[in-house]
Amino acid sequence: MATASIPRVRLPAQAKPGELIEIKTLISHEMESGQRRDSAGKVIPRKIIKQFVAAFNGKTVFEADWHPAISANPYQSFFYKAAESGEFTFTWKDDDGSEYVAKNKLTVG
């Protein structure tokens, strides 16, 4: 079932100063809850993305701690008030220590 986790991010490329933009993110991940059992009755070990971090020009603007109750292929949306041009860095942190990263540029003006 394990597939490569590919992040997808949707946000406008340009915004006016002070404009509120919505950022929509999606990543492919099974989000194995650690609550399920296989056919032999053994618990399938937990493997989820436990944290999502959004930073703009290196400064964290939004963070989310995800618990096993988050659905597979997690979707997360939030807002950002455009102030200056720069680059977003989105990081998804997996239980196994791996990190999935996406970067998106935003031009303000």
The residue within the footprint of another protein, chosen from 1, 13, 39, 97 (CB under 8 A), is 39
Our finding on whether 9 is near another protein (CB under 8 A) is no
Our finding on whether 13 is near another protein (CB under 8 A) is no
Complex with another protein: residue 59 or 96, whichever CB lies closer: 59
- Report the distance separating Cα 51 and Cα 93, nearest Å: 5
Our finding on whether 14 is near another protein (CB under 8 A) is no
- For Cα atoms 15, 8, 28, give the angle at the middle one, nearest 5 degrees: 155
Phi then psi dihedrals of residue 72, to 5 deg? -60, 155
Q: C-beta of 43: minimal distance to another protein in Å?
A: 9
Phi then psi dihedrals of residue 65, to 5 deg? -95, 120
Q: For residues 62 and 80, is the Cβ–Cβ distance under 8 A?
A: yes
Our finding on whether 81 is near another protein (CB under 8 A) is yes
Our finding on whether 37 is near another protein (CB under 8 A) is yes
- Report the distance separating Cα 64 and Cα 59, nearest Å: 15
**Which parts of this chain interact with another protein (CB under 8 A)?**
20, 33, 35-37, 39-41, 56, 59-72, 74-81, 83
